[in-house]
Amino acid sequence: MHILFVTATRIGDAVLSTGLLNYLSERYPDARLTIAAGPVAAPLFEAVPRLERVVIIEKRRWALHWVPLYAAVAVRRWDLVVDLRGSALAWLLRARDRKVMAKGDAREHRVRQLGHLFDLDPPPSPRLWTAPHHEHAAKVLVPPNGPVLAIGPAANWRGKQWRAERFAELAHRLTAANGLFPGTRIAVIAAGHERAQAEPLLKAIPTARLIDLVGNLDLLTASAVLRRSALFIGNDTGLMHIAAAVGAPTLGLFGPSPIEQYAAWGERTAVVRTADPPESMFREGFDHRTTDTLMDSLSVEAVEAAAHALWCRLEIAAA
């Protein structure tokens, strides 16, 4: 059996789709999987069981990226085509069965929207697969000699990025002698091109307790690192969804983006949002290309309290 799974370009959306991919893998244990994804998200799928190949969808003007994808997959008759991008591709391919994602309800979480495609309630939770070399690399980068607080201070859009100086103050409070994780090491995770965003946080952490992973991780090694973390705190990004998918206690920071659709998913997660509602952030003349952060109404005190509440809830659940 051969399944074609067409998923997202963005890391976060691709992570959220992995629950459905895992469902298909378990429902059809003999199936060979071909996964089509954007170039940034594609590495997430390198260790998927029974993976035949990953086809990269390079974005092109006028939706011309569908042409090379069609050429790459049209030679086969597929047993099942799952298209989460709602394109016409599935209807152009030879296939015994097709599932094509329609536009979902904006009031409903993306994971639930995906579950509707196969009438799954509850919907399958996201999960990620790693290879032994990812786990080994994570063990080298983060030796298992005590807990680690992981922080994701960057974002792909300045508007939803909490200030690095506030992350620094939060890290100081959480790792102080009377904090949640006294004396704990702090791992700062971001892409190489995001170092400038993370720099104020990096400079504020004592060298002896800093694990600087900015630009040092591929996506699946980041997954393995986050699995070893006591707690992850970060902006609404793909990294937040990775942390939640691998089961790390995850606190997501939200401002302009919709919590209803993109909150961190799972029993070990929580979100905290700005005091200002999203609708107040997009006034006349707003330009996403020039805006500064829209997260300033989220205080350090609010995030610290949310971290304590999440940790308390998890401790009670584990008792």
For the chain, helix, strand, coil in percent to 5 are: 40, 15, 45
CB of 169 closer than 8 Å to CB of 136? no
Per DSSP, which regions of the chain are E strands? Answer: 2-6, 32-37, 51-56, 80-83, 98-100, 148-152, 185-188, 210-212, 231-235, 250-254, 269-273
| Tokens 């610290």 found at | 304
Residue written as tokens 């409070």? 173
Q: Could you tell me the domains of the chain? A: 2-116 (3.40.50.2000), 135-318 (3.40.50.2000)
Distances in Å between the Cα of 266 and the Cα atoms of 124, 214, 242, 285, 309 are 10, 26, 11, 37, 16
Residue 242 backbone dihedrals phi, psi, to 5 degrees: -60, -45
pTM here is: 0.96
Ramachandran quadrant class, 119 (left: phi over 0; alpha: psi -120 to 50; beta: rest): left
Token pair of 54 as six digits? 């990953």
Look at residue 64 in the predicted model and tell me its pLDDT.
67
Is the Cβ–Cβ distance between 265 and 242 less than 8 Å? no
The one-digit pLDDT tens for each residue of the chain (319 residues) are 999 999 999 999 999 999 999 999 999 999 999 999 999 999 999 999 999 999 998 877 776 677 788 888 999 999 999 999 988 888 989 999 999 998 878 889 999 999 999 999 999 999 999 999 999 999 999 988 889 999 999 999 999 999 999 999 999 999 999 999 999 999 999 999 999 999 999 999 999 999 999 999 999 999 999 999 999 999 999 999 999 999 999 999 999 999 999 999 999 999 999 999 998 888 777 787 778 999 999 999 999 999 999 999 999 999 8
Contact 18/127 with Cβ under 8 angstroms? yes
Note whether 109 and 263 are within 8 A (CB): yes
| φ/ψ (deg, to 5) at 62 | 60, 30
Per-residue pLDDT at 307? 99
